[in-house]
């Protein structure tokens, strides 16, 4: 089964300083058809204006991943962790038994455009944890690279779930294979640019969920520019 989630059908919120698109139910946007996909609970595409940001607030028992597309995202939490996240870097924060943090635009001149991703953990009330790591975009040009994994193998960030997040960048004419295990479920999200999956066109913000699907699919770049695609390999 393939489930389509077109970008234009996502939930929307605009507070002036924040323009957000919600793939799944979040905040004031509630749709019982879109409560998540397996343990994948949130993909918000956020644009935060200069000097804007989320004031300190608490989370618990959630794996929170930030993926910057442009600009700079500053972060601070009550464990003493802080930093600035830029394109090519991935930030993982495991809220564990509870953590207070803030996120805000790291620039007073340029907006920041990023994805905030939440994955439910496979254990409760663990110690909060935080990792920020740079991944060379060239290492996933025309080929898959694993960014998140359960065990942190090969320089990936270890998360508290039996899930993997992989990324690929595709220019027009470049293609990669997407191998599917029918015992798993997959969520493909186009972060930027345009691609096609087995000839089905997808643009920035579009997503597909794949359940009980096996075999090998072809993902190809199309249009001008370079597409940035994330795939979440998730347990049933």
Q: Residue 28, SS3? A: coil
pLDDT more than 90, % of the chain: 91
Residue intervals in the chain for CATH 2.60.120.10: 10-135, 138-234
Residues 5 and 25: their CA atoms lie apart, in Å, by 13
Tell me the mean pLDDT in the region 32-42. 97
Cα torsion at 149, 152, 157, 163 (round to 10°)?
10
- Dist. CA 169–CA 171, nearest whole Å: 7
Fold entry, domain 138-234: Jelly Rolls (2.60.120)
Summary mean pLDDT of the chain: 95
82 — pLDDT class (breaks 50, 70, 90): confident
Whether residue 156 has pLDDT greater than 90: yes
The dotted CATH code for 10-135 is 2.60.120.10
pLDDT digits (tens, 9 = 90+) for 49-81: 998 988 888 999 999 999 999 999 999 888 888
Whole-number pLDDT of residue 80: 81
Q: Is the pTM of this model over 0.75?
A: yes
pLDDT digits (tens, 9 = 90+) for 163-198: 999 999 999 999 999 999 999 999 999 999 999 999
């Amino acid at each position: 089964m393939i489930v389509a989630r077109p970008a234009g059908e996502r939930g929307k919120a605009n507070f002036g300083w924040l323009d957000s698109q919600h793939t799944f139910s979040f905040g004031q946007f509630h749709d019982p058809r879109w409560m998540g996909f397996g343990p994948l609970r949130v993909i918000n595409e956020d644009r935060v204006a200069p000097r804007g940001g989320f004031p300190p607030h608490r989370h618990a028992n959630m794996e929170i991943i930030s993926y910057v597309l442009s600009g700079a995202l500053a972060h601070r939490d009550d464990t003493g962790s802080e930093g600035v996240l830029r394109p090519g870097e991935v930030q993982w924060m495991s809220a564990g038994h509870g953590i207070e943090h803030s996120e805000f635009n790291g620039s007073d001149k340029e907006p920041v455009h990023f994805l905030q991703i939440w994955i439910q953990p496979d254990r409760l009330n663990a110690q909060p944890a935080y990792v920020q790591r740079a991944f060379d975009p060239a290492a996933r040009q025309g080929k898959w690279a694993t960014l998140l994994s359960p065990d942190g193998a090969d320089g990936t960030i270890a998360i508290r779930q039996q899930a993997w997040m992989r990324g690929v960048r595709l220019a027009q004419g470049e293609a990669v294979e997407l191998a599917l295990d029918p015992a798993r479920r997959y969520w493909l999200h186009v972060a930027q640019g345009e691609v096609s999956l087995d000839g089905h066109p997808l643009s920035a913000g579009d997503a597909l969920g794949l359940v009980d699907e096996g075999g090998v699919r072809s993902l190809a770049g199309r249009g001008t520019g370079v597409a940035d695609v994330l795939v979440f390999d998730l347990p049933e």
